[in-house]
Amino acid sequence: MNRRISLKSVLLIVLGVVLVTFLLTATYFQLRIAGDLREINEKNAYFSKLYTVDQLVRDHYVGDIDAEELMDGIITGYIYGTGDKYAAYLNRDVYAESVKSSSGQFEGIGINIMYMPESGYIKITSPMQNSPAEKAGILAGDIIIEVDGEDVAQLGYYSAVAKLTDVAGTSAHFTVLRGEQTIPFSITRESFEKLSVFSRVVGDNIGYIQIEAFNETTYREFELAIDELTGKGVRGLIFDVRNNPGGDVNTLCNMLDLLLPEGPIMHMYDHDGNEELPAISSDASEIDLPMAVLVNGDSASASELFAAALRDYDKAKLVGTKTYGKATMQSVIPLSDGSAVSISVSAIKPPYGDSYEGIGITPDFVVDLPDEVKQNYAVMTDEQDAQLQRALELFS
């Protein structure tokens, strides 16, 4: 039986729908406006406080204020106040130098470094090969505590790095802590090409590839090393990412794509915990050789993901000591005046494992090195390298 609905009824229904829609929309905008007002009020509060302090300093401070240094200090303080322990402000000089060094061309003393948030000092994870630092006797594990006579923890990481950075021909003056001994250094900076991949054949025809960092040139160097070693018919591959502080994620993923079968390489999550799609994946092409990865407490970030991904696919066993534990990715965002900010923008996880942020990765075979060997890491022989020797045993 058909029932007719009167025009009046239709109008009432439409009016009701419109009213409900209006109320929902009005409620949404009220909440949005309230949220925006709260945010505006919060910003006004701290800008007002900053303005008050600025006026007090300008009215009473007996010294001179350098406007550029003041701005650098304000931004550095803001970044520090966010609680993002991996974030940083890079002034013009530091940012320009970081861009130059990532391209493989380096001008300086030649050290790979890592920030130590618990102390505020800087650890030298390794001197670059054939660098002024290596020639001067800098060792892996040395901790920079003073630059130009100023305490590094008071200066801040990037301010200290800026003081270490200058053109070839000038000298860097700093003090390192080595065990309980403090050692002053004065090293003349040089221009040199910074290689990040070194390879050779070790043991019974096993390919050894040391990866010092992941920068713009690393993938090509890595690809050439793989081609050279596989061309020699090696029976397996050992990747050494000890003392590797990390680097460019795109470079890392391209390198893993050479080694892994089809599947995810890494997962990234935004600040709300939502996975960023599409996931970064490898194609079906892979290198089918037994593998091992050498790691230690200074293997951080991208080097940890490199090791974790190979283990997740059962491509490699890990040998050494527990890694650093950094599973967040930073984005360096240039600013209009030539400076930049580096901000943690993603949490990362390996293909099938859990996050290692703040935990580190425990290797399959835990092998430590004696203290005297660690202190002379740069000149350690293969026979003294217990971690390398344990890895070679896996190919027996």
Half-sphere exposure of 251 (CA within 13 A, CB side): 22
Q: What is the pLDDT of residue 68?
A: 83
Where is the domain boundary, 169, 192, 215?
A: 192
Do 241 and 130 fall into the same domain?
A: no
Residues 6 or more apart in contact with residue 196 via CB below 8 angstroms: 104, 211, 212, 213, 214, 215, 217, 218, 221
Within-domain flag for 46: no
Tokens (6 digits) for 78: 């803001």
Q: What is the pLDDT of residue 27?
A: 57
145, amino acid identity:
I
Do 158 and 225 fall into the same domain?
A: no
* Nearest-angstrom CA–CA distance, 155 and 184: 18
Q: What is the pLDDT of residue 281?
A: 92
Do 220 and 353 fall into the same domain?
A: yes
Do 114 and 184 fall into the same domain?
A: yes
Q: What is the pLDDT of residue 10?
A: 43
Longest dimension (CA), the chain: 100
Reading the chain (396 residues) residue by residue, the pLDDT tens digits are 444 545 455 445 445 555 545 555 555 555 555 555 666 666 667 678 888 888 898 889 898 888 888 888 888 888 888 888 888 888 888 788 777 666 656 778 988 888 888 888 999 888 887 789 988 999 888 999 999 999 999 988 878 888 888 888 999 999 999 988 999 999 999 887 778 899 999 999 999 999 998 988 899 999 999 999 999 999 999 999 999 999 899 999 999 999 999 999 999 998 888 888 777 899 999 999 999 999 999 999 999 999 999 999 999 999 999 999 999 998 889 999 888 998 999 999 999 999 999 999 999 999 999 988 887 776 788 999 999 999 999 998
Q: What is the pLDDT of residue 16?
A: 52
Q: What is the pLDDT of residue 203?
A: 94
Residue in 262, 261, 199, 256 with CA at minimum distance from that of residue 226: 199
Number of continuous H segments (helices) and E segments (strands) in the chain: 11, 19
C-beta neighbour count of 290 within 10 angstroms: 14
CATH number for the domain that contains residue 135: 2.30.42.10
Please check whether residue 151 is in contact with residue 159, taking contact to mean a CB–CB distance below 8 angstroms.
no
**Which CA distances in Å does 103 have to 70, 90, 96, 215, 336?**
30, 17, 11, 7, 22
Where is the domain boundary, 192, 219, 246?
A: 192
CATH number for the domain that contains residue 335: 3.90.226.10
Within-domain flag for 355: yes
Residue 302, strand partner residues? none
* Nearest-angstrom CA–CA distance, 202 and 193: 25
Do 328 and 263 fall into the same domain?
A: yes
CA triplet 352, 357, 361: central angle to 5 degrees? 65
Do 156 and 274 fall into the same domain?
A: no
Q: What is the pLDDT of residue 75?
A: 85
Do 369 and 246 fall into the same domain?
A: yes
Within-domain flag for 14: no
pTM: 0.73
Do 235 and 366 fall into the same domain?
A: yes
DSSP 8-state assignment for residue 195: -
Do 307 and 225 fall into the same domain?
A: yes
Number of domains in the chain: 2
Do 366 and 256 fall into the same domain?
A: yes
Where is the domain boundary, 137, 172, 192?
A: 192
Please provide the DSSP assignment of 66-80 as one string: -HHHHHHHHHHHHHH
Q: At what angle do helices 92-102 and 157-164 cross, to 10 degrees?
A: 70
Within-domain flag for 90: no
Within-domain flag for 12: no
Within-domain flag for 83: no
Please check whether residue 266 is in contact with residue 255, taking contact to mean a CB–CB distance below 8 angstroms.
no
Within-domain flag for 380: yes
Domain range for 206 is 195-393
Within-domain flag for 155: yes
Do 162 and 243 fall into the same domain?
A: no
Do 301 and 348 fall into the same domain?
A: yes
Residue in 251, 136, 126, 129 with CA at minimum distance from that of residue 194: 129
Please check whether residue 348 is in contact with residue 327, taking contact to mean a CB–CB distance below 8 angstroms.
yes
